[in-house]
């Protein structure tokens, strides 16, 4: 019994030593993380913030209070920008879908025309579209085609290509290959393979992705006007430039209303097609 108890006590002691070592290690990690977080808080909020310019607590509260005095006289002038924002989101999504189809075809490994040349190009276009922010796209297109809704539409379209084409390409890569092989076995063309063997399998995913992207594009379109691409963003920029705090709040409420509309429409649309 003594010989059995001694190894057992040694194993228990070793187990407690490992637990103690793990606790010390976790405590050190937590302490290091808390120290970095405290330093970031001190450096960015305490040191870099111009508290004197804010005018103290009363000055901050006074500024916030101005935003609650809504400038209701702006309502008639915000209806057209709101419709323009919806138009930018809708047309941008449609154009993005048209661009996404060939990119998804190029970037799907099982249907791409060339794995060595076309496939990397398709994947590169997906990465390029997702890597550049919509504001950057809008700035580029404003410089290319001028002010107005068109650069906003193009910017939203280019930003949508990466997401729609990536989800579509991955859906194509995960299809059941049996229908495709059957169509090819009876001499079907590449178009017939795509139309009858692939599209029916990925169509619900594509439609759901497009609806979800349209919902996101409403948010994107709401800020396009900050760089001259029309919509409610331009109205927001004008109210900010005039220091019309109540007007700024009203524009934000219009943006919120559009987002709610988009959420409701996308919810029922997804239920209808998926």
Across 63-71, average pLDDT: 77
Which pLDDT value is given to residue 74?
82
Site of tokens 């290690």: 25
Tens of pLDDT, residue by residue over 144-184, are 887 778 888 888 899 899 889 999 888 888 888 888 888 88
Q: What is the mean pLDDT of the chain?
A: 81
pTM passes above 0.75:
no
Cα–Cα distance measured from residue 207 to residue 265, given in angstroms and rounded to the nearest whole number: 14
Q: Which of 194, 217, 177 is nearest to 101 (CA)?
A: 194
The full set of domain ranges for the chain reads: 2-49, 72-273
* Six-digit token string for 182: 């059957």
Alpha carbons within 13 A on the beta-carbon side of 231:
30
From the list 152, 131, 154, the residue with the least C-alpha distance to 222 is 152
Give the separation between CA 208 and CA 142, rounded to whole angstroms: 30
CATH class, domain 72-273, is mainly alpha
- Count CA atoms within 13 Å of residue 99 on its CB side: 21
Q: Which long-range contacts (CB under 8 A, 24 or more apart) does 268-272 make?
A: 269/211, 270/208, 270/211, 270/212
CA separation for the pair 178, 60 (Å, rounded): 66
Confidence of residue 95 (pLDDT cuts 50, 70, 90): very high
Which tens digit of pLDDT belongs to each residue from 218-267?
Answer: 888 878 777 777 778 888 888 888 888 888 888 888 888 888 888 888 77
Residue with more model confidence, 64 or 218 = 218
**Given this model, what pLDDT does residue 1 score?**
46
pLDDT tens-digit series, residues 4-52:
555 556 666 676 677 777 888 888 899 999 999 988 888 777 777 766 6
Count other C-beta atoms under 10 Å from residue 157's C-beta. 25
């Amino acid at each position: 019994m003594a010989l059995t108890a001694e190894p057992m006590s040694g194993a228990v002691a070793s187990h407690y030593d490992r637990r103690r070592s793990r606790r010390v290690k976790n405590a050190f990690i937590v302490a290091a993380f808390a120290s970095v977080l405290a330093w970031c808080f001190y450096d960015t909020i305490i040191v870099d913030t111009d508290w004197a310019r804010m005018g103290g607590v009363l000055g901050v509260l006074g500024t916030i209070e101005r935003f609650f005095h809504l400038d209701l006289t702006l309502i008639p002038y915000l209806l057209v920008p709101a419709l323009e924002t919806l138009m930018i989101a809708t047309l941008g999504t449609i154009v993005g879908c048209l661009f996404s189809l060939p990119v998804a075809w190029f970037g799907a490994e099982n249907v791409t025309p060339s794995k060595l040349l076309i496939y990397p190009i398709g994947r590169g276009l997906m990465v390029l579209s997702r890597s550049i922010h919509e504001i950057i796209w809008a700035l580029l297109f404003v410089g290319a085609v001028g002010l107005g809704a068109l650069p906003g539409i193009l910017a939203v379209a280019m930003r949508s290509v990466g997401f729609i084409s990536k989800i579509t390409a991955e859906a194509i890569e995960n299809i059941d290959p049996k229908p495709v092989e059957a169509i090819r076995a009876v001499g079907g063309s590449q178009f017939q393979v795509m139309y009858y063997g692939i599209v029916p399998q990925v169509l619900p995913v594509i439609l759901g992705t497009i609806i979800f992207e349209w919902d996101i594009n409403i948010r994107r379109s709401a800020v396009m006007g900050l760089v001259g691409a029309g919509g409610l963003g331009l109205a927001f920029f004008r109210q900010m430039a005039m220091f019309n705090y109540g007007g700024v709040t009203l524009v934000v409420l219009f943006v919120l209303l559009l987002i709610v509309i988009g959420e409701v429409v996308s919810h029922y649309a997804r239920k209808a097609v998926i």
